[in-house]
Structure formats: C-alpha cells, structure tokens
Copies of this chain bind each other. A is one copy, B any other.
C-alpha cells in the first residue's frame, strides 16, 4: 500500500481512540507536545538547516527563506502556542440541543470530532505544529502534507509531536506526516473519500483552487481575499484615508488586506487626492481607472491605467486598484463580481446605504467604517483560529475550534418502535 493510504488508515484507527479521549488527556498531550518540541530543538534546527541549505541551493527568494527558517526562539513560540491551546475550553461534548420526543425518546445532539482532518500547506514549518495542535485539541486525527521545501523540518517536528501523543497514552498514529510531496501523493490524499473527513488547504489561491478542482473529499476553502473598501458619497472624510491606508498597508501580504478601492465618482475629486498621496507615501503601486488616473496626475502621484485583470487580482503586496463608481449599485455589483467573498467595507454615514451594502454584499465579513484587517479569529474573540473560510458551507469567515467538529444525534429509548 502507498505511504498516503497506509498513513490515512492508521489515522482513521487512531481517530476512533482520540474521539474517546477526555479533554484532560488531550490537553496533557498538547503540553507534552510543547515540551518535546523544546527538548528536540537541536534536532529540529539541524533538520531545518538541511531544508534551508537545499532551498538556498535552489535559489529560493529571501522572503520565502525567512518563512522556512526556524530559530530557537521561533520553536519556543510554536511550543507556547500549543500550551495556550491546551488552556482553551474543550469544544467536545457540548450538548448543542436536546429535547424529549413525543414518544418519550430522549434526543440530544452532541459535539464530536470530525474524525480525520487532512491539511495541505506550503512552506512554513510552524504550520505543522499549529495544525496538529488544533486537531488534537478537537479530538481529530490529522494527516499533514507540508511543502516539499520544508519536508525535513516538518518530519522532525511531527515525529516529536506524534511521540508526545504516545507518551500520554494516546495513539501516536493520530498525527501523520506525508513524506512524499509529489503531485501524485497529494492527489491520492485528496481522493481518500471515507478515510479523510475534511481537507483544509492553507496557502495561496493556486493551492486552494487545485484542491477544489480535484478533491473527492469535502474541502474547506480558506483565505483567498480580494477585498475592497468602498467610499460612499456620504463618507465621513476623516475616516477615509486612515481606513484605506490601514487596510492596504498595515500587513499587505495577508488575506484580509484590501486589493481595491471603489469610490463614488461624485466625491472622488474631493476625497481621492489625499488617498492617492497617502498610498504613494507608503510606496503603494496604484492601478487607477480614468478619473482616478487624472486625479493622480493632478496630485503628482504616480499611477498606471488599471485593466480588467486588475479588478480580479489579489496582489498580496503594496499594490492597489482604484475605480470610481456611479454609486452603491455599481459598487455592490463590482464587489459581488470580482470579490472572493472574504471581507468588504463601506465608508458611509448613511444608515440606509450601510444597510444595503451589508445586506447585498456577499462576503464572510461585511464592515461599515472599519478596516478589513480585523477579520481574524483572535480579533473576533473566537480563540484559536484554524483559518478563514470563504465558502458558505460548514463554516464562513474566521473559523474557531468548532469548525473542526461535527455533531451526533444520540437517542435513548425504552423499546419505542415507529407506528
């Protein structure tokens, strides 16, 4: 049997036992996982050094190398995150609803693990511990398929975690790491319907789309964000520049950063010059429509003509598209056409405009008068975050631990039969 199927079957068996483990046991496992990571820091750093050397030889770019690199401090942070997770409330066993049926059967619906969670992710080795921790906290077995560049780091980390599971009396097979990072192995993992209950890809749009196109197991799509700020004609001018600059530049590489600004043409001449100057001051490359291009020229700000392609582009960088629109209808239409359903914002002091935007924009998080950068499990008060779902099924928006659970109907009778 292939590596993937062998490990998936082992994970499936482990999942049955993990689902029965008490919250105390699972939290003890997380503490032990943290401890083992700290203890094995030298081995992890050595493995990481091998990955780093190979990546350097391949001419990998500096930002990617930085994402790949582990240090003693970074490993300590990873361990600390596991300990923080251990301190969170147990999501399992919650009685979501319950009542006595007309015939006397006692019905309860109880929160249970999903079973086997597969995660496919890219270079950062900290995701290995992060995913494993979230799964163990929620009583799930996990199959981790990290990027090929980090394969040695990932394996050393996942071995430490899996050993820790065993040491607290839980099945060490509950954490599986796939060594074969070929496309075939990934395709195989995505096809294991019946063995894998859900696949969560964490990475760029290419990875997510590949999973959506090819997976036969249920997928949760996460984190593709073509987000916008729309400046309505009734916008409070004081909020326009700060919100746009924050949403674009505070951390441009993340999914809740904006990629586009829409502004009512009627107020663009008044409000846009300051926006353009503020963005230029932050070195943001500007793709502007005709009116915005003219305003940029007048303001002495460098800008280039936006094309149709810009409206659909998630730059994930200091780059933005700007379009003047003919009011709320065009703004909503544009967002629902080009947006990815992540986070969208209207700046307006008109209650009816806010209500229409909020109701009609089809996205996981719809803001009025605040930066889209708040779309985050921590900011929303959800505790640990698994990712940000941009689909509508199962979970939408920032996903807390509950997103890694399902429910089960439990029915206790005394001989009832159906008439």
**Which A residues are closer than 8 A to B by beta carbons?**
16, 19-20, 99, 101, 103, 105, 107, 109, 114-115, 193, 197-198, 212-213, 216, 218-220, 236, 238-239, 242-243, 246-247, 250, 336, 354, 358-360, 362-371, 373-375, 379-381, 391-394, 396-398, 406-418
Residue contact B408 to A115, C-beta cutoff 8 Å = no
Residue contact B413 to A367, C-beta cutoff 8 Å = yes
State the CA gap A105–B198 with chains docked (Å). Answer: 33
A239 nearest CB across to chain B (Å): 4
Residue contact A381 to B99, C-beta cutoff 8 Å = yes
Given the interface pairs A374-B101, A417-B243, A417-B371, the reply to whether A363 lies near B408 with Cβ below 8 Å is: yes
A236 contacts which chain B residues (CB < 8 A)?
A: 415
In the complex, the chain B residue whose C-beta lies closest to that of A107 is: B380
Beyond the given pairs A109-B397, A367-B411, 17 more chain A to chain B contacts, judged by CB atoms under 8 angstroms and listed by A's residue number, are A19-B362, A107-B381, A114-B392, A197-B392, A213-B216, A238-B415, A239-B415, A243-B415, A243-B417, A365-B411, A367-B412, A368-B411, A369-B414, A371-B416, A371-B418, A374-B411, A397-B408
Given the interface pairs A370-B411, A415-B238, A417-B246, the reply to whether A393 lies near B406 with Cβ below 8 Å is: yes
Copies per complex of this chain: 2
Which single member of B193, B369, B411 contacts A366 (CB below 8 Å)? B411
State the CA gap A379–B414 with chains docked (Å). Answer: 16
Residue contact A406 to B396, C-beta cutoff 8 Å = yes
* 26 CB-based A-B contacts, threshold 8 Å: A16-B362, A20-B359, A101-B379, A193-B212, A193-B213, A197-B393, A198-B393, A212-B216, A218-B219, A218-B391, A236-B415, A239-B414, A243-B415, A246-B417, A250-B418, A367-B412, A368-B413, A369-B412, A369-B413, A371-B413, A371-B416, A373-B417, A374-B418, A380-B409, A392-B406, A393-B394
A380 contacts which chain B residues (CB < 8 A)?
A: 101, 107, 409
State the CA gap A99–B379 with chains docked (Å). Answer: 12
State the CA gap A151–B197 with chains docked (Å). Answer: 35
A218 contacts which chain B residues (CB < 8 A)?
A: 218-219, 391, 393
